[in-house]
Structure 1
């Protein structure tokens, strides 16, 4: 129940919905019960009017109290009958029934609308909370998690929580209230018969509890299987070109379909167990009604007690409705396990905390003045050491190139500057201040990045460039595109800057995508630029255009470049050779060639490959 109440906390301010819902539900229950109770005077009038009851002179006695509901209703029926006649009495009773039904249905509609608003409000708060927390998490979390699992939790699991948990809230208030109202009326009609009939409730609860015992475990298995399917689907759609190129379509189909079959099996088992509760409770209810007919009928026929035939028929009608709220409660109890299992998975995301957070007294920086310094910096993924004792100074206005064998730690070193990850040892200073003492937003506002992979969105070219500066004008965007050598191909496209580039920029070539990314970085105009092998995946012609764009981008900026083609960084102020997590060499291009070390070997290998 702890999970249930945590999920319910997302409904705040719940009193905004709860108070009007309670009022509407109380009115619905009162008049809904009255609808059935009014059968007694209706039948009383009809029995008298058809001659099935004694029509001799009748002395109407004192009005009974509310503890004798049957007698009270009979009193009014008799009074109407003898005061205004049978047909007029029947008219009055029918009008009362219609008014009662109208009021109960009106307020039931209003209560359902209020509960639907609560459900949507809860879903909105929960989904916002989950997504906001996910976006605040550090990059390491996404490295170790499956994207499909995260998508499943935000999309599917939150939806399950919405319908099972909030629906249970509705049932948990209304149905017990309705059940109590029915039982009170039944006791008012006949205490002896009601005590006999209430045996069905604990018996029904016992059988239902046995049926739903394993539902929570099966629901959790089902949610996990569904998230696996979403992961496989995401991987299949993202990598469809490679899948076809390697003739891996049968493997991908088999993997997805296998998980789909597993999910179907779990759902079949769960639904079979879940839906067994309804017919079992209904069967128990019918059996109990049959027993009451036998026992109550014997009381009426034998004349024992004061239960009249009209009251007995009303009793049977009301008791037949007792099983409806009882059945709704058992069904809700069955469904809640599915919601709790989904809720636990959602709350896992809500409870996840980023390892990269601002200190309470973190400083805000507005400019870059001097240098970025690495002092004895170490970093490791678990037990695997990536960087070891890195000492490096990047001064304002310098272009520093990082080169070295793959896996040496170049990208990790660059990722430490905007604090995508925190150092494991040592410190990185930004103008003499430890990065961990700065706010993330102010630090990253001083830094721009262009990665090896062109990250674009399914939107227009204009919006992709203006992503770095949403308030940018068309003139600013065009200026940035011209610096990035992108303006010419943009104006030749179908709708110019309003052209939609498709999913991840699929309608553009690799070089065009990269130049859009560079234009985005130019528009932001940060003092520090990080370039991670920005031309490695391009053909020669595209590389030349992109490299020219990068040279323009690097002008008057502090730039850290991870170089794929060493010929492109020969004019760098400083070249740092990273090998096995350490700085193997550093210096200018000519100095490193003369040293005849790792850098010279890399140059020779690349020239040989070319």
Structure 2
């Protein structure tokens, strides 16, 4: 689907959207019926006005004037009721559809590979899930049904005009091609313009979100003026994109108004001539009716163009959202094994992997971890340590080789079962804007507050949490900004511990913390690694010394394997790394 083609309407895309209305068929048909009633009531009003002029006012019949006025009042009440039902339920249907589409979109994104998020802008994804969704809702609330209602009104009006006076009708119809042609050009231009608008909205959202998230860096490096200038440029493009739509509107609607005014003038002039010559409708009411009917014919056409803008913006938004829904970026979850518990033996066999197709990060690594064993992985930055953890959790798919747990390929496990057995504590701990208790349990109803508190006491972090205002109900705000890095690490340790994993991974979990927090983390580490398979990446000296095995990596390869003492005796890569990075800690 080429959203820049200027194609006025994509029926396949619209058909896909309409499928989301199937659970709400009653409402869908109800809104359609209301649209039909609206067209009927509108025409009846014009007919009654014409009859009032001819049969009541001209004949000076006050009784008939009263009856016809009451009839017109009844029609107007019916029109108001129909309009109310139409407006409310069309909007209700639109909101219901975007609720379902948004759920599908979020569910889809939850299953994407990490590679997708590595190359996608968060700001753009947020725009798709929020702003674009509202545009999709407007397809039903302000676009499709309004257009259908207006088209029905135009058809009925045209029929009534032909019935009353085909000569006056032809005058009005002769001007319709001008409006129709202008509308067609307008629609095509607006389709392209709105595509540009949505692109600029995404760019603006992405830029603002990134700068707000990284505001500390912006201020630390005095980038305020530079970022302000970049924002001005992006904002200028955003303004220009919107002004393009305003320009098209400024051209089209005056043209439509001029043509409509010409039509009314011709009706009065030609209708008057026909009456004077007694060769046309002999009642003056017909001319009054035609003036009202011509407005009902031209106004919907102008509104259709306006509503088509809304429809096109919604279609552009739908196209963007469905592109995400159609993205094939899921980890294949075809495994059938779902174990209640695993021992935790891990085997990497000649594993090769690269984040980019032509850039291999791991070059055929092989190692094994026995169940219950604690293994440390060390190496310089970029050696591939964290990549191993990403692959173990199947965040990415390996290029070749095999990774097995308890002798079973991780591809044979159900993905949810595999990840439920592995807990990871990262260096950069992510906390949600919620209570400490909810950040620990992640709102898993199987984990109670009592269990959280008991676990906290076991690993020695209860006192720290209890000292906070409201204790376990303390809200840490967005990304846990109300806590220090060490405190966030302790929360992450507790989160891993209460999940009772068979395999525990600590990835840089004690870096950049104060001495007191490090002592608490060390105590927590000893407790949570007890009796379970543990992989520790680039930890502090004390943890590495206690590891049953140390795997030394360099440039995506394993260069040494052994215990702390064995590796020091070799005097190789680990010994050099130890002297460079850890000798100061040992002296201290």
- TM-score computed with the length of structure 1 as normaliser: 0.91
1:373 corresponds in structure 2 to 347
CA–CA distance in 2 between the matches of 1:337 and 1:139? 32
Matched residue SS, 2:512: coil
| Contact residue 34 and residue 100 of structure 1 kept, 8 A | yes
Change (3 A) 1:233 1:306: closer
Following the alignment from structure 1 to structure 2, what is the Cα–Cα distance between the partners of residues 552 and 300? 102
What corresponds to 1:558 in structure 2?
533
**Matched residues in 1 for 2:443 and 2:171: separation?**
74
Q: Deviation per CA, 1:440-467, whole angstroms, max 9, x where unpaired? A: 0010111111001111111111111121
Residue among 7, 30, 42 paired with 2:52: 42
2:91–2:137 contact (8 Å) kept in structure 1 = no
Q: What are the ranges of 5 or more consecutive residues in structure 1 without an aligned counterpart?
A: 51-85
Q: Deviations over 1:43-101 (max 9, x none)?
A: 12344345xxxxxxxxxxxxxxxxxxxxxxxxxxxxxxxxxxx2212111111111111
Say if 2:329 is the partner of 1:354: yes
Give the secondary-structure state (helix, strand or coil) at the position aligned to 1:392: strand
2:377 corresponds to:
402
C-alpha separation in 1, matches of 2:139 and 2:572? 66
2:93 maps to 1:93? no
Deviation of 1:275 after TM superposition, in Å, equals 4.4
Matching residue of 2:196: 221
Counterpart in 2 of 1:19?
29
> How far apart, in 1, do the equivalents of 2:20 and 2:251 lie?
32
Task: Name the residue aligned to 2:416.
Answer: 441
- Among 9, 16, 21, the residue aligned to 1:6: 16
**CA deviations over 1:356-401 (Å, ceiling 9, x no partner):** 1211x52222211362111111101221111111111111100011
Of 422, 433, 453, the match for 2:397: 422
Structure 2 residue 468 is matched with structure 1 residue 493: yes
In 2, the alpha carbon distance for the partners of 1:121 and 1:102 equals: 28
How many equivalent residue pairs?
574
Aligned residue number for residue 67 of structure 1 = none
Match of 1:287 in 2: 262
Per mean C-alpha deviation after superposition, the further-off stretch among 373-382 and 20-29 is: 20-29
Report what 1:576 is aligned to: 551
Deviates more, 1:391-400 or 1:9-18: 9-18
**Is this contact kept in 1: 2:57–2:65, CA < 8 A?**
no
Is 1:511 aligned to residue 483 of structure 2? Answer: no
Alpha-carbon offset, residue 601 of structure 1: 0.5
1:385 counterpart SS class: coil
Residues 229-277 of structure 1: CA distance to partner in whole angstroms, max 9, x if unpaired?
A: 2122222221222221111122222222321121011111122213432
For the residues of structure 2 that align with 1:87 and 1:468, how far apart are their CA atoms? Answer: 73
Q: What is the root-mean-square deviation of aligned Cα atoms in Å? A: 1.7
3-state SS, counterpart of residue 408 of structure 1: coil
Give a deviation string over 1:194-246, Cα, whole Å, max 9, x none: 12320222211112222343322222222122112212222222122222111
Cα distance in 1 between the residues matched to 2:142 and 2:554: 59
> Contact 2:342–2:421 at 8 Å: present in 1 too?
yes
2:123 corresponds in structure 1 to: 148
Partner of 1:323: 298
Could you tell me how far apart the structure 1 residues matched to 2:493 and 2:583 are? Answer: 30
Give, in angstroms, the shift of residue 469 of structure 1. 3.4
1:201 aligns to 2:201 (yes or no):
no
* Distance change in 2, residues 1:125/1:370 (3 Å): closer
Q: Is 2:162 the counterpart of 1:187?
A: yes
1:158 Cα deviation after fit: 1.3
CA distance in 2, matches of 1:20, 1:262: 42
Q: Distance in 1 between matches of 2:168 and 2:218?
A: 71
Asked if residue 29 in structure 1 is aligned to residue 39 in structure 2, the reply is: yes
CA contact (8 A) 1:212 1:273 kept: no
Partner Cα distance (2:365, 2:53) in 1: 94
Pick closer, same or farther for the CA change 1:534–1:228 going to 2, 3 Å.
same
**Residue in 2 that maps onto 1:77:** none
Partner of 2:337: 363
SS of 2:475 mapped into structure 1? coil
1:303 and 2:278 matched? yes
Partner Cα distance (2:441, 2:179) in 1: 63
Deviations 1:1-53 (A, max 9, x none): 12233233333335222221222222232222111100122112344345xxx
Preserved contact between residue 147 and residue 308 of structure 2 (Cα < 8 Å): no
Contact residue 263 and residue 294 of structure 2 kept, 8 A: no
Larger Rg: 1
Is 1:529 paired with 2:532? no
Deviations 1:544-564 (A, max 9, x none): 221221111101110011024
Unaligned runs of at least 5 residues, structure 2 = 1-9
Q: Hey, what's the Cα distance between the residues in 2 that align with 1:502 and 1:48?
A: 75
Structure 1 residues 68-147: aligned runs within 5 Å:
86-147=61-122
Comparing 274-283 and 119-128, the one that deviates more: 274-283
Q: Secondary structure at the match of 2:332?
A: coil
Instruction: Please state how far the C-alpha of 1:609 moved relative to its aligned partner.
Output: 5.5
Q: For the structure 1 residues 485 and 307, does the alpha-carbon distance in structure 2 shift closer, same or farther, using more than 3 Å as the test?
A: farther
1: CA distance between counterparts of 2:556 and 2:204? Answer: 38
Query: How far 1:570 moved relative to its partner?
Result: 0.7
SS in 2 for 1:599: helix
Which secondary structure state, in structure 1, belongs to the residue aligned with residue 361 of structure 2?
A: strand
Q: Which moved more, 1:437-446 or 1:153-162?
A: 153-162
Contact 1:449 1:521 survives alignment (8 Å): yes
Tell me, yes or no, if the aligned pair for 2:187 and 2:309 is still in contact at 8 Å.
Answer: yes
Q: Cα 1:22–1:210, aligned 2, differ >3 Å: closer, same or farther?
A: closer
3-state DSSP of counterpart to 2:383? coil
Q: TM-score, normalised by structure 2?
A: 0.94
